[in-house]
Structure 1
Amino acid sequence: MIRFVMAAAVGVALATPALAQTKTVAITAIVEHPALDAVRDGVVEALKAAGWVPGQTLTVEYQSAQGNPATAAQIARQFVGKRPDVIVPISTPSAQAVVAATRDVPVVFSAVTDPVGAQLVRNPDHPGGNVTGLSDFPPVEEHLLLIRKVLPGAKRIGVPYNPGDANSVSLVGTIKALAAKHGMTVVEAPANRSSEVQGAARGLVGKADVIYTALDNTVVSALEAVVAVGAQNKLPVFSGDTDSVARGTVASIGFNYFEVGRQTGQIVARVLKGEKPGDIPVTTARGTDLVVNPAAAQAMGVTLPADLVQSAKVVGK
């Protein structure tokens, strides 16, 4: 379990009376990896921009569950006991743990693909209660079209995922439906923990034409193992998040997760200013970027189309 606290200074003079009172925000994530870390940092940056400065007018506590749902529940109970002004759980398992632990402490979740399927809210437009947040439902169909553009003959999409993560199960269902629409099939590769991800990826060799790592935190936390399998077997790996491209996947269309965090932080700021979470609709992250990694593609036996590379927002090396 990793923890850091940004302690608030006492007696700080502020230009804005509405922000004169120091606030406390508790942030937790199911695991540490670049995308979720970027969300956390984006939240803090947005709060700073809104006038709550860490170490002056804002106390921020962060804890990671290191991939363990039981630890996530423990962190949730601990945070609730401290009664912060807002708890920000990042990822579906952490959000489920926090929402189960409190009905009155304000909760603003982030990086949750399917808030309704995860039973965090019943109605995203009118969440009610103490919960709201931001969904990062990915542009799955665009991902499949991207795979088809790079690999026109790809028919079998290998998808490693954690079957114990409701978010991932829902997403795999979406991938199956959209894949069928485009004449593709999905080959599932279950992995209940990070240590099982490499074996799941190896199990796709000879069974899939391409590997697609969706927004599954168990898989993303062990992404390098998937990339290694892809390079060793000339099995191209595409990702559901753009941060993974720099870590070795071929390409992705997705969100800048620091911006996802900033958008989440703007919601948190509204709650700190007095709005009730239940009165704030759940929103979906804005903006999608095409990111490609020609070197990773080459290592996996793929040549990216020139027009695709030219249209990318970021080209890795």
Structure 2
Amino acid sequence: MRRRDFIAGLGASTALLPRLTQAEQAGRIPLVAILWHAGSREEEGALYDAMMAGFTALGYVAGKNVRFEERFPGEIPGRFEQFAKELVALQPDVLVAVATPSILAAQKTTTTIPIVFLPPLDPVQLKLVKSLARPEGNLTGLTTIAEGVPGKRAQLLKRTFPDLSSLALMFDPVVAYNVALEVSETRLAAEKLGLAFDTFETKRQEDIDEVFSTIVQRRYGATIVTQGPMYFLHRNRMAKFALENKLILMGASDVFADSGYLMSYGPSWPPIFHNVATYVDKILKGAKPGDLPVQQPTIFEFIINLKTAKSVGLEVPPSALLLADRVIE
């Protein structure tokens, strides 16, 4: 069963085949550079497929009417900046930057090449754009920012497990929104629900292991993992740890429940990645990034991984399953 809530967003192009871009009119195939976050196409998984499907839906065919040049930093120190410089040196028509480290590296490297970013929580606070409606500058893109989502995760946990008494929150300070809003909104929701609440900051991969060990030792009832590129990269390993230690783990979007987290609530990421092509298409046809409003998420899902629940011996009440937009069995 699926339930989808919608926020007004920028409509996708309905053209089956793209009109001639400025680059094509100049006698060359346009170049789209993509600075990913993970270490390979396989690690990007469904998100990579979703983005490329978006280009295909608009009639773009690699090698015929578009060229792609990609880099995969894989969280290796220095590679975001190095790869951003490599891509900018190619003078692409558009540079797509995925996740905060890639976006910041791209922004630092060029102020003239159009940049399409995704999916930062708050591009205004990150100083990527002046406003969502009027970005200005050379950046625009798609965000996952949505009011009330952090608190709703705590509420859904409590509704699913009424005996829940304590809650831990993991956040990555590289994502500024996590510090400013995710922590404060989750704390407020936890207090209203009568839950003991603590936060845990992780800056490196090693911190994740240390925090998980602390959470297990202190026997927190559940843990929410906020949105962050590092968490996406290590989502399978984190899900495995939670399974082995019978932790109730909630993620920030569908990709985490699909990777084995017990549940997730937030914007659905594949549609966001799919819509990147719409922005690239508009820019290739002459639109300026600063004139294209930042698109907010349109699809939100509460997902329960019943397979994980059974593996850790948890009984999910029917009332919670009815709330779910999707149940993984």
Normalising by structure 1, what TM-score?
Answer: 0.86
Contact 1:214 1:241 in 2 (8 A): no
Q: Deviations over 1:152-210 (max 9, x none)?
A: 23243222233344354343344334434444454222322224322221111225210
The letter for the 2-side match of 1:162 is D
* CA displacement, residues 265-313 of structure 1 (integer Å, 9 cap, x when unaligned): 2122111111000001112121112321112113334211213324534
Partner of residue 127, structure 2: 119
Distance 1:225 1:200, change over 3 A: farther
Structure-1 separation of matches of 2:153 and 2:43 = 18
Corresponding residue of 1:28: 35
CA distance, structure 2, for counterparts of residue 157 and residue 117 of structure 1: 27
Q: Unaligned stretches of 5+ in structure 2?
A: 1-15
Q: Which segment drifts farther, 95-104 or 163-172?
A: 163-172
Contact 2:124 2:130 survives alignment (8 Å): yes
Give the equivalent residue in structure 2 for 1:281.
293
Higher relative contact order (CA 8 A, sep 6+): 2
Query: 1:71–1:117: structure 2 CA closer, same or farther, 3 Å change rule?
Result: same
Alignment of 1:3-82 (within 5 A): 18-19=20-21, 21=24, 22-32=29-39, 36-68=44-76, 70-82=78-90
Alignment of 1:137-216 (within 5 A): 137=145, 139-170=149-180, 171-205=182-216, 206-216=218-228
Mapped to 2, the partners of 1:301 and 1:209 lie a distance apart of: 14
User: In the superposition, relative to structure 1, how do residues 15 and 279 fare at CA in structure 2: closer, same or farther (>3 Å)?
Assistant: closer
Q: Give, in whole Å, the separation in 1 of the partners of 2:310 and 2:19.
A: 57
Q: Secondary structure at the match of 1:284?
A: coil
Change (3 A) 1:37 1:268: farther
In structure 2, the residue matched to 1:266 is 278
Q: Work out whether 1:104 is the aligned partner of 2:112.
A: yes
Answer whether contact 1:161 1:218 (CA < 8 A) is retained.
Answer: no
When structure 1 is superposed on structure 2, of 18-27 and 210-219 the one drifting more is 18-27
The verdict on how the C-alpha distance between 1:49 and 1:164 changes in structure 2, with shifts beyond 3 A counting, is closer
Deviation at 1:100, TM superposition (A): 1.3
Q: Distance in 2 between matches of 1:94 and 1:118?
A: 13
Name the Cα RMSD after superposition. 2.5
Corresponding residue of 2:324:
312
Structure 1 unaligned residues grouped into runs of 5+: 1-13
Q: CA deviation at 1:28?
A: 1.4
Residues 62 and 46 of structure 1: is their aligned pair in 2 closer, same or farther, counting only changes over 3 Å?
same
Question: Once structures 1 and 2 are overlaid, which stretch shifts more, 42-51 or 284-293?
Answer: 42-51
- 1:294 aligns with 306
Distance 1:249 1:200 in 2: 17
> Structure 2 length normalisation: TM-score?
0.83
Aligned-partner Cα distance in 2 for 1:71–1:121:
24
Report the 3-state secondary structure (helix = DSSP H, G, I; strand = E; otherwise coil) of the residue aligned with 2:59. Answer: coil
Tell me, what secondary structure is at the counterpart of 1:261? helix
Counterpart of 1:73 in 2: which secondary structure?
A: helix
User: What's 1:4 paired with?
Assistant: none
What count of residue pairs does the alignment treat as equivalent?
304
Letter in 2 for 1:122: K
